[in-house]
């Protein structure tokens, strides 16, 4: 049978530090982490709400980030997010199958393309336009390759 080593023992062994001498207790560290995750999740929900109104901000990405934060800090808030009739299915599809709906994919790709065109028009500089294209090419390819949900 394999011996189970606690995180405290592993840290003490790996880094030659005495974890017990840390000025902040582990319970306070975990409470602080939980509070920070809740705040980050709420901030992401706020950005997602703005993204539903403004065409320049993504909505789904921030909701997925919020769901990840809430899964580690507040199961109640995660359930509320997943129970949302509009965004809940999108988040569940992503968490379970790593897929997005065809309509969401189409809107995201179109928004990226229109944003690049608008940026090129407003910037009127080949170097800055190239920089914008270089910055969005990775997310664009990532979205293109994502499978569609059923």
Instruction: Give whole-number Cα distances, 74 to 22, 25, 46, 128, in Å.
Output: 26, 21, 17, 42
Higher pLDDT, 54 or 141: 141
Angle between helix 75-83 and 26-53 (nearest 10): 20
Q: Tens digits of per-residue pLDDT, 28-43?
A: 568 889 999 999 999 9
Q: What is the pLDDT of residue 38?
A: 94
Q: Tens digits of per-residue pLDDT, 95-115?
A: 889 888 888 888 888 988 998
Structural Rg of the chain based on CA atoms: 21
Q: Look-up: residue for tokens 């940026």?
A: 119
Structural domain boundaries of the chain?
Answer: 27-98, 99-150
Q: What is the pLDDT of residue 80?
A: 92
For the chain, the farthest-separated pair of C-alpha atoms sits apart, in whole angstroms, at: 67
CA–CA distance, 44 with 89 (Å, rounded to integer): 18
- Report helix, strand and coil shares of the chain as percent, to nearest 5: 75, 0, 20
């Amino acid at each position: 049978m394999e011996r189970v080593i606690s995180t405290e023992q592993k840290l003490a062994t790996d880094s030659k530090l005495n974890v017990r001498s840390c000025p902040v207790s582990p319970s306070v560290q975990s409470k602080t982490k939980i509070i920070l995750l809740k705040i980050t999740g709420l901030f992401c929900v706020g950005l997602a709400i703005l993204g539903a109104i403004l065409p320049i901000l993504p909505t789904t990405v921030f909701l997925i980030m919020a769901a990840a934060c809430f899964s580690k800090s507040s199961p109640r808030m995660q359930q509320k997010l997943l129970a949302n009739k509009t965004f809940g299915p999108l988040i569940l599809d992503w968490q379970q199958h790593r897929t997005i709906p065809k309509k969401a994919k189409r809107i995201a790709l179109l928004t990226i393309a229109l944003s690049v065109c608008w940026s090129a028009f407003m910037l009127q500089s080949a170097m800055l336009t190239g920089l914008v294209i270089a910055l969005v090419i990775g997310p664009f390819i990532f979205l293109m390759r994502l499978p569609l949900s059923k």
